Amino acid sequence: MIESLFGNLAALGTNEVILMVFGAIVLLLIFWLIGGYNGLVRLRNRYRNAFAQIDVQLKRRHDLIPNLVETAKGYMKHESETLEAVIEARNTAASARKGLSPDDAGQMKGLMAAEAGLGSMLGKFFALSEAYPDLKANQNMMQLSEELTSTENKVSFSRQAYNDAVTIYNTQTETIPTNIIAGMFSFRQAVLFEVTNAEERERVDVSFD
């Protein structure tokens, strides 16, 4: 069989052999491009799906805060400025989240800044609430606080999963030879969801014991 193959090649002209080799190389390149492109698409979809989980938890967080503030109003009558600032920060964060694409670096940075501001105001709110024992004993306040703490934990876990997915994707877009495909098809670097202030980094810790 091998002798027959060499015999057939020998029977072909030089041009035919060159065309066959060139065709084989082109086919290999096409398969490589398809495989690399599909791999990047899968990694991009993975971090997009991970961000969707963050979005669910952030929405839950934003939905809880107005009820929290409304409950506190009856007790923290002298802290109206702080309560209004919490709602304003919540509204800013909710607006930044709406219609956001994790592929858009500018939108992601805007969301991170808004969430950092919200985390800072929540920290101030709970620090002030310590001076109101009747508020701390309120059953509705205790339940909302527990739900908020649970949601904060879920945000943290979801953010870690998202950042892990982004890191894997970004590494693929930077390393040779996949970076060539990333450049050809405009696979841009994704943005990590980073903690930007000390209050948010330490997580809002709610305790009404």
d(CA 204, CA 120): 9
Tokens standing for residue 47: 């971090």
Q: What is the pLDDT along the chain (209 residues), one digit of tens a residue?
A: 555 555 555 555 677 778 888 888 989 999 999 999 999 999 999 999 999 999 999 999 999 999 999 999 999 988 999 999 999 999 999 999 999 999 999 999 999 999 999 999 999 999 999 999 999 899 999 999 999 999 999 999 999 999 999 999 999 999 999 999 999 999 999 999 987 655 454 444 555 45
User: Which of 141, 107, 121, 90 lies closest to 204 in space, CA to CA?
Assistant: 121
Cβ atoms 206, 148 nearer than 8 A: yes
Angle between helices 14-73 and 105-129 in degrees, nearest 10: 20
Going along the chain from its start, the domains and CATH numbers come out as: 2-201 (1.20.1440.20)
CA distances (Å), origin 20, targets 9, 27, 28, 78, 88: 10, 11, 12, 84, 68
d(CA 75, CA 205): 20
Tokens standing for residue 31: 């398969």
Within 10 A of 18 (CB to CB), how many other CB atoms are there?
A: 11
